[in-house]
Structure 1
Amino acid sequence: MHNNDRVLVNKLVHTLGFEPDYGDIVIIDKRIDRPRTVIDDITDSLRYNAISYHFNKNIDEIFWIKRVIGKAGDTLEFKDGKVYRDGIALDEPYIKEPMLYTSDEVVVVPEGHVFVMGDNRNNSYDSRMVGPIPLDHVIGKYVFKF
C-alpha cells in the first residue's frame, strides 16, 4: 500500500471483538496512550471516511495499517534480519526488503494485545517502537484498496 491509497475495512473484527489472525492486515488507532471509547467509534466513523476525506484532505491521520505478527502469549525475537515467533523464523514473502532491525530484547505479547509491523520494515513505525497494541485499538481488517 502507498500514501493516499483508500481502503475498504471490515469493522466487524472490532465491533464483535474478534481477535485478528497472524498475517492479517489491520487498521490500528495509533492513540494507544489512551483508552478507546464508544464515542471514538461513532465520531471516527463520521470523521474518517472516503466522503469526508474528499472534502477535507487535511484531517489528522490517527490510523495505521499494519500486519499482525504476534498474538497474546507469543515470544518474539528480531535477529539475522528475521522475525522469530516462539523460536521459529517467519516466512514473510510480503515484506518490501530484508529487515535491518535487530534487537537483543525478547518481547512477550501480553493478554489482550497484538504485535504489529509494517511490511516496509526498514521504514515503519510500529510495535517495535510503541509496544504491543491493545485489541480494542484494532479498528478493523483490511479488505481491499481502491
Structure 2
Amino acid sequence: MKRLFLMLMATFMVAGLYAQGLKIGDKAPDFRLKNVDGKMVSLADYTQAKGFIVIFSCNHCPFVKAYEDRMIALHEKYASKGFPVIAINSNDPEVVPEDSFDKMVERAQQKKFPFVYLFDEGQKIYPLYGAARTPHVYILSKKANDLVVE
C-alpha cells in the first residue's frame, strides 16, 4: 500500500510539472543567451522574424540526436519565411558533462548547424517555458510587440 501511495504521489508531482509553463496563446519571454559562436543572442535581435521555432535541446539525448537533421531541415525551410530555429541547451553540464558549452560548440560544428545553438547557463529559461524534456518544441509568432505561443 505504501508503495502504491508513493507511485501515485510521484505521478501527481510529474503531472504538476507538466501543467506549468507556457500554453497556447501565452506570451513567451525573451532571453539573452550565449551562442556557440560566443555572441549573446536575444529573440529581439531578429527584427525581421515573424516568429520562431524554439527547440529545447542538448548534446547527449538520443532523441535529440535522432531529431537534429529534422531541426536543420526545419530551419532551412522556415527561416527564409521568417521562422528561424532557435535551439537552446538547457541541461546542466555539472550533471551531464557532455552538455557543456565546449561540447555544444563541437556538436554544432560537427553537424554544421545553420541555426543558433544557445546555452541556458544556470538553467533559467527552460522553466519559464515549461520545457520538460528534450527535444521540446515551441512555435512562437509575433503579434504586435509580443511573442505568442502557437
Alignment TM-score, normalising by the size of structure 2: 0.25
Larger Rg: 2
- Where is the helix percentage greater, Structure 1 or Structure 2? 2
Alignment TM-score, normalising by the size of structure 1: 0.26
